[in-house]
Amino acid sequence: MPGDDIENRGGGGGGIAEAKSRANNRANNSIYSASSTSYMIDDSETQWTSWLIPMFVVANVAMFLAVMWVNNCPKHNLGIQGRCVARFLGRFSFEPIKENPLFGPSAATLEKLGALEWTKVVQNHQGWRLVTCVWLHAGVIHLVANMLSLVFIGIRLEQQFGFVRIGIIFLLSGFGGSVLSSLFIRNSISVGASGALFGLLGAMLSELFTNWTIYTNKAAALITLLVIIVINLGIGILPHVDNYAHIGGFLTGFLLGFVLLPRPQFGWLEQQNLPAGVPVKSKYKAYQYALWLICLILLIVGFTVALVMLFQGENGNDHCHWCTYLSCVPTSRWQCHEN
């Protein structure tokens, strides 16, 4: 069964369930506070109505129900009485706890409906899985953790920057997480939106940097965000948690934040109130333009190189032997077998 955290990497058994439960609880709790600490500027500026993030939540819930309908646990567990969990739900009942401790469908169903799997993406040319896996969830626990995080982070961002920019960051970050995950992990499937969620966290951090001069409490905002990010990325060193998806999504969102989330200078916003003859300031500061250009180039080059490597069948571990420790650090209590 695919693993969890906010993103899943496959595996089965009680040890995995324990790691996934710890990861979900800690990541979910720590992410919530990000939306209220990063933004400390005047709330009198224009606010958009958030509708895209709620639509994403509805779409993910609907997709999970569709997956459970297709899974139909009682049908493929005929003759084994009581094996499905919550059998009173009929075809929406969950797989046995030993197979899926997150109360959800089987790994076979997830793979059938679009989970990320290296062989199918590269050898079977099913690149669409890099996108579809973001909209699948391994179970009720996984779904609730992701959607609560998305609401607490995404709604505030959408209110401040609008649905277009936040939608682009969410989708491209999820894609970036899938690409990096596929480059390094080949032996299991993956589902979940953690790449997209970490992308929103990365965008919050770069937005703080690129709009540094307009924040009233810079140190508090920066320290809070860094602590949240370090904690959530640190969770990824647990076994059976796909930290490559976290890192790929975070880096994508971080670069996109410099491209999509710079705020205009105050002088430019107030130019209509200036007397005639007063020179008008540039919309953005010079460093914002510089960061915009550099990050746009890095995004284009990064995606191009990563996709070429992926579809040529390159294994990221062959080019970065120490990168395996970014996703799992072996200890006396667990071993890392994935890579």
Q: What distance in Å separates the CA atoms of residue 128 and residue 45, rounded to the nearest whole number?
A: 39
Q: Which one of 194, 206, 240, 327 is the catalytic residue?
A: 194
Q: Which one of 50, 137, 246, 327 is the catalytic residue?
A: 246
Is 194 catalytic? The answer is yes
H or E element at residue 195:
helix 194-210
Closest CA to 9 of 178, 189, 220: 189
Ramachandran region of residue 86, left (φ > 0), alpha (ψ -120 to 50) or beta? left
Is 137 catalytic? The answer is no
In the chain, what's the furthest Cα-to-Cα distance?
86
- Tell me what percent of the chain is helix, strand and coil, each rounded to the nearest 5: 65, 0, 35
Closest CA to 21 of 97, 95, 125: 97
Residues in the chain, overall count:
339
The catalytic site residues sit at 194, 246
